[in-house]
Structure 1
Amino acid sequence: MAALVRVSGPPNSSFLVGYPGISATLPRIEGTVEIRPSQGYSAPVPISLVRISLQRRETIHPAAENVAKRHLGTPRRETVDLVGKEMLLFRCTTGREADNVVAMDLPFILYIPFGRGGEEANRRIPPASLSVGSSRMLETYYELVVTVQQGPTNQHKYAFPVPVQRYDTLSTFGMYNRAEYKTAVSDNIVTLGMSLPKWSYGPNDPITVFLKLAPNPDWMSKAKKVTIDKFTVTIEEEITFNPEGDEPTKKVNRLEKRVQPVKAKLAEAGYTTNLSMVFPSRSIRDADGVIRREKPGFPLYEVTSFTTTSTLYKIEFFLCVKAHLSSARDISIRQAIVICPMDHEECKDVLHAIEQAAKDASQVDPTQPPPRPTVVRATDKDALHTLGLCMVGGQKKPLIE
């Protein structure tokens, strides 16, 4: 007799409690595994063992977006990893192959790793759920896997998708609001300096970069001949496939470009300017303004991708500044930036929720076991009452309290 298995989360909330990436919130998945007979409403089901785990599936296919290369390029690669630890929820009575069960509710709490863990993969903070490209060029997907053992040889696995987000790249965190400054020199004649007031951005967030071209006072005669043609600023997405493997490959996409014409000679005092652009976003609404239905296991993001590091791939973003010069070689600076899936206003709102979650988590003891399970065996007194039935004249009838 097969079992009907489902997983339910806490009332009025999702499975995921806390904020992955923020250790103070003790990120965890809470819920209950519910097992009932699948055929014959009251027929008991033999259950030997029940386990639950959180699994991460990752796939990459670098040639997926190119029709010509799809059949010739590297094949799709996939890995499946256990996140945290597997949890034993039920074991049948010692000495028996299985217990005949009428109904079973097994509460569980699976803690998501929140430490970097060095080389220990099972202690690293798991990357966020993400699917890039219509042909699933790269994907990270999480699912709760319930393993039900029925007798010595009969084992079934049931998978339930769980979207996982990361919250350690919020643009409201102070560490991202420190100015970054970089310089580069052309022919020892001109120095380009670039200043970024902050370096974490989300969809539709404005990005402003301050630029200064300064002549070398020791080579002023040559510097005065330099003409500033224009400045260009581009945002690049760099995807590294198989970053920890033997042959990592990179794909660079230009997301946005801004050009500022200058056409002026470089003065002794130098040249100062700033360029602004908006980080591109994609709408989560359709043509009628209705929010799209999200795919199971994947949250709706307003960006096509964001800063993340996984086993099979790594996504990074760079702000590239180039000064186009005459009478001197062009100067380029490439500065890493962090892209968050949420805009600045959303980050502000989430920050308050994170603070509250951290207060709530301070009352949680991770060593405490989950609530006691409810197991109704066929031999228990009034077992049918659990299913809303009772025996009347040797027949099963609906129970009227």
Structure 2
Amino acid sequence: MESSKVNAFVRVSGPPNRNYLVGYPGISATLPRIEGKVEIRPGAGYSAPVGISYVAIGLYRKETIHPHADSIISNHLAAPRKEIRDLVGKEMRLFQCSAGKAYDSVLAMDLPFVLFIPFSKAGNEDIIKVPPASLQLPSRVAETYYELVVSVQQGSADLKKHSFPVPLSRYDTLSSFGMYNRPETQERVSDHLVTLSMCLQRWSFGPNDPVEVRVRLTPNPDWMSKAKKVSIQRIVVALEEQITYNPEGDEPTTKVNKLISKKEVVGQKLPPDGYQSDVTIRLPAKELRDSDGFLPPPKPAFPMHPIIGFTTTATLYKIDYFLSVKAHMSSCRDITLRQKIIVSPFDHQTCLDELPLIMQAAQDASSINAVGPMLPAPTIVRPGDPNALHWLGMTMVGNERKLLIH
């Protein structure tokens, strides 16, 4: 059979005993990248040569949104799902056949590659080029996933593309980073009588992490005669998820979901020296195990996180989280404060455990040249090479071709 007509079997493999995603996306010092090799073997028969003209690989991101997928709209045709597909970084050419030939006949090819994931350098605020994390919200109202696409040209045949999903996480929202462990304070005044203030000691949280907020109501000393008539009925603390579809488009749409709330009944007059309360709510988490206690196999394109959504900014959507505090009062208008927080896909203990690993990854990346990285030499086995059949697990016994295990 002519080698150009033999379909190639293509797969992507990572380094031995390692994932092919190396480094920490979102942390520039670790040079986040995908390392591995493209393996090409005969797709039919044991040793039929394959005609290869061209091989390239690239990382692609696909985003889809469908804001109404989670609601039933009767007698109304919902807007179609919107979708974009982009190349992340640059495509890498791995093989080009000899000049003047339509293709090269090969028995096996191992083509090493490294694809750097874009990252923002220190001081660069343009984070829009940093790829967002893989995410699939319930009912697929928003989705981001990545795939390695290997393009193989075999002679005059049509270019074939082989896709391999890649789950990608971001690590720049870890609650163990110092920038998220500074107190955040906000306050607002109602009717010039009462000031509501809230304080968070840290403002990045993961699944099952406690969210502790200090709430204080203080009367205005210049209006004490009126302020002492104010009664505090209750204080409500809530965690809200805000999803904005088409954030950069002409008609952005925003949906706010209240994830959890906690009500504290006070029922007392506002004391002259003010009222203070520490309220703790726990960030919701989803159960990964089934009813029998087993972990189901993960979806190939999405990391298995014990959380439904997290803070992220993509092209077609963005997800933000807010902690709202509302003080219900009599003889005074209610006051509401809304503080933006970061929700990470990792709980606080996991974030602490990742810190030394991130430091090690940054140290390992310091010796890598991001412009021209050193790669192992490609392995290309041609039909006339010595011991070529051994690459396919075969050998010649007399005039017969047999498997090596025989």
Pairwise TM-score range, normalised by the shorter structure = over 0.9
- Equivalent in the alignment of 1:205: 209
Question: Is residue 2:11 matched to residue 1:6?
Answer: yes
**Structure 1 stretches of 5 or more lacking a match?**
none
1:20-57: CA deviations, max 9, x gaps?
Answer: 01111111101110000000110001100000000011
Using the TM superposition, give the Cα deviation of residue 71 of structure 1 relative to its aligned residue in structure 2, in angstroms.
6.0
Q: Tell which deviates more after alignment, 221-230 or 383-392.
A: 383-392
Structure 2: distance between partners of 1:37 and 1:96: 20
Using the TM superposition, give the Cα deviation of residue 389 of structure 1 relative to its aligned residue in structure 2, in angstroms.
3.0
SS at match of 1:68: coil
Q: Tell which deviates more after alignment, 228-237 or 356-365.
A: 356-365
Structure 1: distance between partners of 2:43 and 2:17: 26
Mapped contact 1:45–1:102 kept (Cα < 8 A):
yes
Using the TM superposition, give the Cα deviation of residue 15 of structure 1 relative to its aligned residue in structure 2, in angstroms.
1.1
TM alignment of 1:36-115, pairs within 5 A: 36-68=41-73, 72-115=77-120
1:134-161: CA deviations, max 9, x gaps?
Answer: x211111110000000113421100001
Mapped contact 2:232–2:329 kept (Cα < 8 A):
yes
TM alignment of 1:290-369, pairs within 5 A: 290-366=294-370, 367-369=372-374
- Equivalent in the alignment of 2:167: 163
Structure 2: distance between partners of 1:138 and 1:109: 29
Using the TM superposition, give the Cα deviation of residue 368 of structure 1 relative to its aligned residue in structure 2, in angstroms.
2.2
SS at match of 1:41: coil
- Equivalent in the alignment of 2:181: 177
Using the TM superposition, give the Cα deviation of residue 69 of structure 1 relative to its aligned residue in structure 2, in angstroms.
6.0
- Equivalent in the alignment of 1:273: 277
Using the TM superposition, give the Cα deviation of residue 274 of structure 1 relative to its aligned residue in structure 2, in angstroms.
1.3
Mapped contact 2:243–2:256 kept (Cα < 8 A):
yes
> One-letter code of the match for 2:57?
I
Structure 2: distance between partners of 1:73 and 1:39: 46
- Equivalent in the alignment of 1:243: 247
SS at match of 1:172: coil
- Equivalent in the alignment of 2:3: none
Question: Is residue 2:232 matched to residue 1:228?
Answer: yes
Q: Pick one of 16, 22, 26 that aligns with 2:21.
A: 16
**Alpha carbons of structure 1 residues 201 and 120: separation in structure 2 relative to 1, 3 Å:** closer
Q: Tell which deviates more after alignment, 141-150 or 218-227.
A: 218-227
Q: Tell which deviates more after alignment, 152-161 or 170-179.
A: 152-161
1:109-147: CA deviations, max 9, x gaps?
Answer: 1111111766696xx2111111001x2111111100000
- Equivalent in the alignment of 1:373: 378
Using the TM superposition, give the Cα deviation of residue 215 of structure 1 relative to its aligned residue in structure 2, in angstroms.
1.0
Taking only aligned residues, the RMSD between alpha carbons, in angstroms, comes to 1.7
Mapped contact 2:59–2:146 kept (Cα < 8 A):
yes
- TM-score, normalised to structure 2's length? 0.94
Using the TM superposition, give the Cα deviation of residue 244 of structure 1 relative to its aligned residue in structure 2, in angstroms.
0.9
Using the TM superposition, give the Cα deviation of residue 391 of structure 1 relative to its aligned residue in structure 2, in angstroms.
4.2
Q: Pick one of 194, 198, 217 that aligns with 2:198.
A: 194
Mapped contact 1:63–1:70 kept (Cα < 8 A):
no
- Equivalent in the alignment of 2:267: 263
Mapped contact 1:105–1:374 kept (Cα < 8 A):
yes
Q: Which runs of 4+ in 1 moved over 4 A?
A: 116-121, 391-394
**Alpha carbons of structure 1 residues 119 and 27: separation in structure 2 relative to 1, 3 Å:** closer
Q: Pick one of 151, 154, 160 that aligns with 2:155.
A: 151
- TM-score, normalised to structure 1's length? 0.96
Mapped contact 1:63–1:69 kept (Cα < 8 A):
no
Using the TM superposition, give the Cα deviation of residue 381 of structure 1 relative to its aligned residue in structure 2, in angstroms.
3.9
**Aligned-residue identity in percent:** 57
> One-letter code of the match for 1:48?
S
**Alpha carbons of structure 1 residues 342 and 118: separation in structure 2 relative to 1, 3 Å:** closer
SS at match of 2:159: strand
